[in-house]
Amino acid sequence: MSVNQLKINYLAKKAQVVLFTSEGGLIESCDTLIDVTKLTKQSSLFEAFPMLESLQSNFNLLNDIDNELYFPRVEFSYNDKEWVFDFTFYKKNDAKGVFIWLIQDLTRQYRYLFDVQQERNESIVKEELRKAQSVPEILQRDIEYLNRILRLKLDYFTKLTYDIKNPVQDIYSTAVLLKEHIKTNEGEAYLHALSSSVHLLNTMLDDMLELSQLDIAKTPFENKLFLLPEVLWAVIKTYDYTSHKQNVTVKLNVDTDVVQKLWGDAIRLSQIMYNLLHNAFKNVSKGGRILVNVHLIEKKDNEVLLKFVVKDNGKGMSNEVLQKLFHEKEQPNALAKLNEIPFYKNNMGLIITRQLVNLQKGTIEVDNVNGKGTQFSVVLSFNVEKNLKK
Amino acid sequence: MGKTSLISRFVYSRFPFSYQTTLGVRIDKKVVALDEASLNMIIWDIGGEQTQARVPESYYLGSSGVIYVFDLSRPSSFFNMVDDINFIKKKLPRTPIITVGNKTDLLDEQTLEEVKNILPIKADYYTSAKTGKHVETVFIKLAQAMIENVR
């Protein structure tokens, strides 16, 4: 057998030729792959093969052998098997109105392509799904990262302001004391200028502290180890000068059963105590007294419930102010209207305090007697360091 | 996108639970009964390509209507929507095209609304081949549009 004959024999098994008319009549089919003769016994070729039916208007457009219609990768179910054929249609040159349908079986070749395509599509879908699922995680991570940076910045800003405030107050009080001892007009004038500048600087620092508190109130809470007396002492120290100036006694008392090493947000606690003390100094008269007490309410497992009391013997607060501060619902826009509403500006510290306590799921109460003083009680929970000995 | 599943739901009233790529083209047929006539619908299920430009020219021959399907759960499936639709309109001018966002069953109501907002073109129908939601409507509407087109 010649090489050409071998080739023809091999290819013959992989191809089929069907001759048909433009009306869909079957002329002849070798039926190597599909039994077209049998399928068209009861019907026309177009009825048996919907694809050809949909193409029938195009067959008459075929002119010669070079003008063909080629359909690659036609998927076809036949004899319980899935086939992939290439279909080619062209006009039979030597017969008018007769067309050739060449069917090539490429199932084996396309099967590989199919598997590759299937794997590719599945991996694309999986990858897209994975990406979609990881978006919230990535966002959460980014938010946490940004919050950490913001928090670091604000902490630094707050600590720095506190740190600057103390020496500034020292300078101011020294200037006041010096003023009493220097009798020359020139010296008094210099000291007056110095104390005025320091007073202005001190006021600016107060404003900066309030602003940083507003920002910190918006950032997430931290859970870090801190020493309670240290935090409270640092807050009270910031009022050294004020207490000296107003001749007000500030007394700190931490009950002996109160755990001193705590896990929580020390800066937030500082803010609360700073604001409550600020309010007490506003109300107390010259020679008055402010008491800061810390009591243990409850201790269970790794958690302690502490009560922070700031009590003054001042003039007391007006009921209207207290009603607005502690009995009205949260006013989300109140902080935004600081510059418009004097009430909120004057009581911003207490507004922030209430907000901070609520955010920590704590409670805040006020006992107020006009002419006798005000007592704020804040209850907050903290975690205790493991295996801690008081 | 679920083209094969949509056709399977419409022609055979069943949903194939396993995913199978369409490599080239698969042809199905269904007679659609409309109020005024019945239509012999020969449906060419063409394999999804990255762009329509990759679809063999011959697959467009004799088309009387097009259903353009994308997967609502995969944004990459509707990124090329505008280019694809313009390409088809160029190839098949005056041929009705219905755009379909498939797989509504994979999205909750809120997500579906969010996806609708980011679509480059508003889809004509939102379907689920799995539940059958709006599948029949899509083919009936296309059949009506095709009849209207030849009048």
Measure CB to CB from residue B42 to each of A50, A69, A122 and give the nearest one.
Answer: A50
Determine the residue type at A158. T
Residue B119 C-alpha, separation from nearest chain A C-alpha, in angstroms: 17
Residue B65 C-alpha, separation from nearest chain A C-alpha, in angstroms: 12
Residue A200's alpha-carbon distances to A195, A196, A204, A332, in angstroms, are 9, 6, 6, 31
Determine the residue type at A334. A
Provide the pLDDT confidence category of residue A309 given band limits of 50, 70 and 90: very high
Give pLDDT tens digits for A103-115: 999 998 888 888 8
Residue B120 C-alpha, separation from nearest chain A C-alpha, in angstroms: 19
pLDDT at A219: 66
Average pLDDT over residues A336-363: 70
SS (H, E, C) chain B: CCHHHHHHHHHHCCCCCCCCCCCCEEEEEEEEECCCCEEEEEEEEECCCCCHHHCCHHHHCCCCCEEEEEECCCHHHCCCHHHHHHHHHHHCCCCCEEEEEECHHHCCHHHHHHHHHHCCCCCCEECCCCCCCCHHHHHHHHHHHHHHHHC
Nearest CA in chain B to A128: B74
Q: Which of A76, A22, A91 is nearest to A53 (CA)?
A: A22
pLDDT at A218: 66
CB contact under 8 A, B59 and A71: yes
Give contacts of A58 with chain B, Cβ < 8 Å: 61-62
pLDDT at A339: 45
Level-2 CATH architecture, domain A140-213: Orthogonal Bundle (1.10)
Token code pair at residue A389: 């000995």
Nearest CA in chain B to A87: B58
Give contacts of A113 with chain B, Cβ < 8 Å: 23
Nearest CA in chain A to B29: A50
Give contacts of B50 with chain A, Cβ < 8 Å: none
Q: Tell whether A133 lies on the interface with B, counting CB pairs under 8 A.
A: no
Range of lowest pLDDT (A4-18, A145-159, A294-308, B94-108): A145-159
Instruction: For the beta carbon of residue B113, count every other beta carbon within 10 angstroms.
Output: 10
Give contacts of B61 with chain A, Cβ < 8 Å: 55, 58, 69
Sign of the C-alpha dihedral computed for residues A373, A332, A362 and A210 taken in this order: negative
Residue A238 scores a pLDDT above 80: no
Give contacts of A 10-69 with B, CB under 8 A. Answer: 50-51, 53-58, 69
A334 near A348, Cβ under 8 Å? no
Partner residues linked to A210 by β-bridges: none
pLDDT at B16: 75
Give contacts of A117 with chain B, Cβ < 8 Å: 21, 23
Q: Which residue has the higher pLDDT, A148 or A67?
A: A67
pLDDT at A179: 75
Measure CB to CB from residue B62 to each of A55, A114, A128 and give the nearest one.
Answer: A55
- Chain B positions contacting chain A at CB under 8 Å are 19-29, 40, 42, 44, 47-48, 56, 58-59, 61-62, 74-76
Range of lowest pLDDT (A220-234, A272-286, B113-127): A220-234
CB contact under 8 A, A73 and B21: no
Give pLDDT tens digits for B34-88: 888 888 899 999 887 666 677 888 888 889 999 999 998 888 788 888 888 999 9
Q: Which of B121, B39, B44, B45 is nearest to B79 (CA)?
A: B121
Give contacts of A 73-92 with B, CB under 8 A. Answer: 73-76, 84
pLDDT at A390: 37
pLDDT at A310: 96
A266 near A223, Cβ under 8 Å? no
pLDDT at B53: 72
Q: Which residues contact B121 (CB under 8 A, 6 or more apart)?
A: B81, B82, B85, B99
Q: Which residue has the higher pLDDT, A255 or A201?
A: A255
Q: Which residue has the higher pLDDT, A173 or A277?
A: A277
pLDDT at A136: 65
Residue A305 scores a pLDDT above 90: yes
Q: Where are the domains of chain A?
A: 3-108, 140-213, 221-383
Give contacts of A72 with chain B, Cβ < 8 Å: 24, 56
Number of A:B CB contacts under 8 A?
A: 67
Mutation to test the A interface, candidates B25, B59, B106, most A Cβ within 10 Å: B25
Instruction: Share the mean pLDDT of chain A.
Output: 81
Nearest CA in chain B to A53: B42
Give pLDDT tens digits for A125-148: 788 777 777 766 776 677 677 777
Give contacts of A125 with chain B, Cβ < 8 Å: 19, 74
CB contact under 8 A, A50 and B75: no
| Alpha-carbon span A357 to A359, nearest angstrom | 5
Residue with tokens 């599945």: A122
pLDDT at A129: 76
pLDDT at B89: 92
Provide the pLDDT confidence category of residue A333 given band limits of 50, 70 and 90: very low
Residue A78 scores a pLDDT above 60: yes
Instruction: For the beta carbon of residue A231, count every other beta carbon within 10 angstroms.
Output: 16
CATH placement of domain A3-108:
3.30.450.20
Average pLDDT over residues A54-76: 84
pLDDT at A241: 74
pLDDT at A327: 62
What ipTM did this prediction achieve?
0.86
A1 near A18, Cβ under 8 Å? no
Residue A377 scores a pLDDT above 70: yes
CATH 3.30.565.10 fits domain A221-383: yes
Q: Which of A373, A356, A155 is nearest to A248 (CA)?
A: A373
Give contacts of A 100-119 with B, CB under 8 A. Answer: 110, 113-114, 117-118
Token code pair at residue A97: 């109105």
